[in-house]
Amino acid sequence: MNSKHEQDSNPWYKEFWGWIVFTPLIVVILTCTVTVTIAIRSADDVVIDDYYKEGRLINRSFSADQNAIDRGISGTLVFNQAGRVVSFTLEKTVQLEDELALFISHPAKTELDRTIQLQKISSTRFIADNVDVEKGRWYVRITPAISDTSQLRGADGEEKTQWRLSGEIDLNNTTSIVLR
């Protein structure tokens, strides 16, 4: 006398309907684990541009960009991958500091960001040797070199950088960019 109940006593993992019920749950748990792992490993980076908070709005200060336009400062930034040299050539002679700071920022990886000091070698040319920059997309910004970071902001917290040139370059496609 075998009842129907005794004949259907297979383990749950051998049952078709058991897998239909548990598969979506397993997929959701794995997906959540992967999502949390990605979120933790690639957290948002700190913004390094000149931003200040005013009320509930965040505004970008463009005074340094406008100062560069007003003074007629523009030029070409060239990355020589083979010689590991970065050069900046002004389009016209403008009285500038003897040293400029080139900030190179990777759009996604903060650990690749760096500051390079460009030394003046003529009235229109600045250069830096032994610079290793990986191929890829980069944000570049040139400002006067300031050795003391306390000089970056005044007593009122306002930016004191006299001028700034900024742009974006993809070193996979080109090795130079015109900054205006």
In a shared domain, residues 163 and 115: yes
* Whether pLDDT at 3 is above 60: no
In a shared domain, residues 101 and 28: no
Torsion of CA 175, 91, 70, 179, to 10 degrees: -10
Least confident of 10-14, 67-71, 90-94: 10-14
Taking the CB of residue 60, how many other CB atoms lie within 10 A of it? 10
In a shared domain, residues 78 and 21: no
Query: What is the per-residue pLDDT for 49?
Result: 59
In a shared domain, residues 96 and 141: yes
Query: How far apart, in whole angstroms, are the C-alpha atoms of residue 78 and residue 169?
Result: 10
In a shared domain, residues 108 and 158: yes
Judged by DSSP in three states, 124 sits in coil
Domain count, the chain: 2
Query: What is the per-residue pLDDT for 56?
Result: 47
In a shared domain, residues 157 and 70: yes
In a shared domain, residues 108 and 147: yes
In a shared domain, residues 89 and 172: yes
CATH number at residue 156: 2.60.40.10
pTM over 0.75: no
In a shared domain, residues 70 and 126: yes
Domain that holds residue 17: 4-41
Q: List pLDDT tens digits, range 87-146.
A: 999 999 988 889 999 999 998 888 899 999 999 999 999 999 999 899 999 999 999 987
In a shared domain, residues 167 and 109: yes
* Whether pLDDT at 178 is above 80: yes
Query: Does residue 54 lie in a domain region?
Result: no
Taking the CB of residue 172, how many other CB atoms lie within 10 A of it? 8
In a shared domain, residues 37 and 74: no
Query: What is the per-residue pLDDT for 90?
Result: 95
